[in-house]
Structures are given as C-alpha cells and as structure tokens.
C-alpha cells in the first residue's frame, strides 16, 4: 500500500473511453483566471517551509531531516529517482501521508506562520488551504462535471447562485469552460484524460486554497494534454504557490522556478531551476540530471 515514487513504471492507462482532446485551433481555449481576482502582489503570497521533516512507514524512515522552503507564488519542482521520497514530501505537506495505516511524520511544516503539524490544528481544515492534484485524474465517478467541481465547496455550505458562480469561474480558470459548458450535468468520467485532470484542478481551486500540490499531474496524460496542464500551471502560479513532483526533468525545466533534487529520502540540493540543471553543486545531482541514473 506504500505509494511508489516511480509512477512511470505503473500502468498509467486511464480508464476512459478512447477520447481525444477536442482541439481545433478555433476551439482552443486559454485558461482564464481573471475571474479569480487579482494576482497576488509582492508579499501577499503564501510560503511553505519544511523544517527538519522526517517521515516513516512504521519503523522504516523514508524522509530524513528535510528542510526546504517553497517560495510564495512560485512553482517549485521536486525531482529524483523512484523511491527518493518526493511523493512522500508533498503528502506530508497536506498531511495525507498519515492516512496510510502505520504511516507517520514529525517535524515542522509551516504554511506562513502556521505549523500544520501543531497538535491544535484541525487536519481537515488545513487541507482546504493546501490543495492536491493527483497523478491519476480522479474525478468522482458517480458525480456530474458540475458536482465534481462543486464537491469541495458544498462541504462548507456554499449553495445556490454563489455555488454556480464559483463553479463556472473555476472551469473558466482551467480552460475547460468552452468544452463542457453544455454538458455540466454529464458524468465527470466521461471526459478525456486531460480534461479529467483539468477538471480535478478546477475542483481543487474552487475551494480557494493558498497552495496547490501536484504529484506528477501529467504523467498519465498524452503530450497535448500535458502541454495544456503545464500552460495552466504557468497561469496558476500568479495566484497560488505551487509544488510539483515530477520524474520528467524537461517538464521541471519548463514549468518551475526552483527545483529540489531528492535522493533516498534526503534533500540533496535545491536551486533556481536553470542553475540546478546547468551548474549543479552536488555530484549526485549532476549524475541524475545528466541521466547517469534514475
């Protein structure tokens, strides 16, 4: 039951009928985040700071003294070979790690001033502030497109016109609106893989989080869908702090501002992306980014 870090080895087929993206140039829809309000100004964003984070499955330690800062309104990528602990790191940030029986973590994970692991903190409430997008698109199978996006908001009692507004805004923000506006009541799983993933992103941003965690969000998607998601990430970072786990170094190079390299549960190095790839300081980083292993 331990999630493997190397998702590229798992079957990445998404169980939907063979649909391709509805993309003719005239149909292309860019993400439109304007309705989500103004982008964050300097000093307005939210930072995540990991301070001596250790994570375990029972007695086995999978994260060792990880200390790392994810700057506000930036995209930070975490790269590394399978088993390096990169998925575990993000799962510790929104405390999903402990949902697995026997799994636990200690250390500090601070969202701005707040330590997420503070015993006084309500885990459920924190997860609303830290959203997560998973590797395999997972819209709720029994819900319509509308209900999927509305799911999180309904939990806090959002209803009626207000709810409808926010669902439409979220769909516009991810660039799905044109494709689905006439079939909002159709099942969410009827969409193609790429559309489903954007639906999941819409679902996540609909609850207005401060940070978005993405665990290999495009690894199950075809290249066109991948590009759309990456384009979306570039837009999203103006309003959210984004952490993205990826096994694809080119992707890290394309979307991220800062990159962190992990190996065997330890943070080896982290630096502005271009620097990490062109002039890594650690020998292990250099071996990984030049493809000598992993």
Partner 1 sequence: MTEIPRISAGRRRKDKFMRALLGVATAVALVPLVLIIYYLIYKGAGQWSGRFFTTDPNGNFLGYPGGIRSAILGTVEIVALATAISVPLGIGVALYLVEYGKKSLFANVIRYFVDVMTGVPSIVFGLFIYIVLIVSHVGGNFTGWKGSVALALLMLPIVARSAEVVLNLVPTDLREAALALGAPRWRVVTRVVLPTAASGLVTGSLLAIARGAGETAPLLFTVGVANGLTFNLSQQMNTLPTQIFTDVTSPRDAIVARAWGAAVTLVAMILILNLIARAAQRRSRLA
Partner 2 sequence: MEAHTPVSGGDRQALERSPLARLPDQIMKWGLLGVSVAVLALIAFFFIELIDQSSLAFNRFGVFGFVFHNRWIPSRLVFGAAAMLFGTAVTSAIALIIGVPVAVATALYLTELSPQRARVPLTILVDLLAAVPSVVYGLWGYLFLIPKLKPAEQWFADTFSFIPYVSGHVAGPSIFIAGLILAIMILPIVSAISREVISTVPSEHREAALALGATRWEMIRMAVLPYSRPGITGGAMLGLGRALGETIAVLLVIGDDPAISHFIFGQGYSLAAVIANEFGEGSNIPIYRSALLACGLVLFVLTLFVNGFARAYVLRGERRMFRHRGGHSGAIGGGEVEAAVGV
- Contact footprint for partner 2 (CB under 8 A): 11, 15, 94, 96, 99, 101, 124-128, 131-132, 134, 136, 138-143, 151-152, 155, 200, 203-204, 207
The Cα–Cα gap between 136 and 51 comes to: 29
Half-sphere exposure of 182 toward its Cβ, with a 13 Å CA cutoff? 2
Read off φ and ψ for residue 153, nearest 5 degrees.
-70, -35
Does residue 126 interact with partner 1 by CB under 8 A? yes
**Residue 280 binds: one of partner 2, partner 1, none (C-beta under 5 to 8 A by kind):** none
Q: How far is the CB of 151 from partner 2 (least distance, A)?
A: 6
Site for partner 1 in 37-56 (CB under 8 A): 46
* Closest approach of partner 2 to the CB of residue 74, in Å: 22
State the binding partner of 131 from partner 2, partner 1, none, CB within 5 to 8 A by kind.
partner 2
Question: Taking CB under 8 A as the rule, does residue 121 contact partner 1?
Answer: yes
- Tokens (6 digits) for 137: 């698109």
Q: How far is CA 195 from CA 85, 98, 226, 238, in A?
A: 28, 30, 10, 22
186-225 positions binding partner 1, by CB under 8 A: 210
157 binds partner 1 (CB under 8 A): yes
- Residues 231, 176: contact at Cβ < 8 Å? no
Unique residue bearing structure tokens 């292309």: 28
99 makes contact with partner 1 (CB under 8 A): no
Q: Is 11 in the site for partner 1 (CB under 8 A)?
A: no
DSSP, residue by residue, 139-208: --TTSBHHHHHHHHHHHTT--HHHHHHHHHHHHHHTT-HHHHTT-TTSBGGGS-HHHHHHHHHHHHHHT-
Q: By CB under 8 A, tell whether 113 contacts partner 1.
A: yes
The residue among 21 and 210 lying less far from partner 1, judged by its C-beta, is 210
Residues 269, 23: Cα–Cα separation, whole Å: 39
Residue 272: which of partner 2, partner 1, none does it interact with, CB under 5 to 8 A by kind? Answer: none
Evaluate whether 55 touches 104 at the Cβ level (below 8 Å). Answer: yes
111 binds, among partner 2, partner 1, none (CB under 5 to 8 A by kind): partner 1
Residues that bind partner 1 (CB under 8 A): 46, 111-114, 118, 120-122, 124-126, 128-129, 155-157, 210
């Amino acid at each position: 039951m331990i999630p493997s870090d190397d998702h590229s080895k798992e079957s990445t087929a998404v169980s939907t009928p063979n649909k391709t993206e509805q993309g003719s140039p005239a149909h292309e829809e860019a993400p439109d985040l304007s309705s989500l309000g103004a982008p964050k100004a300097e000093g307005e964003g939210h930072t995540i700071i990991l301070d001596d984070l250790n994570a375990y499955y029972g007695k086995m330690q999978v994260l060792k003294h990880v200390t790392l800062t994810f700057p506000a309104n930036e995209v930070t990528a975490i790269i590394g070979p399978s088993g390096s602990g990169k998925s575990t790191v993000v799962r510790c940030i929104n405390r999903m790690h402990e949902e697995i029986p026997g799994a636990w973590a200690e250390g500090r994970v601070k969202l701005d001033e707040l330590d997420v692991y503070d015993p006084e903190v309500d885990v459920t409430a924190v997860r609303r502030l830290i959203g997560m997008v998973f590797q395999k698109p997972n819209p709720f199978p029994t819900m319509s497109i509308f209900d999927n996006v509305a799911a999180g908001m309904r939990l806090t009692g959002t209803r009626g016109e207000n709810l409808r507004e926010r669902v439409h805004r979220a769909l516009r923000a991810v660039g799905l609106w044109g494709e689905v506006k006439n079939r909002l009541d159709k099942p969410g799983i009827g969409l193609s893989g790429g559309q489903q993933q954007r639906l999941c992103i819409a679902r996540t941003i609909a609850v207005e989080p401060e940070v978005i965690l993405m665990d290999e969000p495009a690894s199950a998607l075809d290249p066109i869908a991948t590009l759309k998601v990456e384009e979306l990430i570039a837009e999203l970072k103006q309003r959210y702090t984004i952490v993205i786990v990826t096994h694809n170094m080119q992707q890290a190079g394309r979307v991220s501002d800062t990159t962190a390299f992990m190996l065997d549960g330890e943070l080896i190095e982290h630096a502005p992306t271009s620097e990490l790839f062109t002039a890594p300081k650690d020998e292990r980083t250099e071996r990984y980014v030049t493809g000598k292993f992993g």
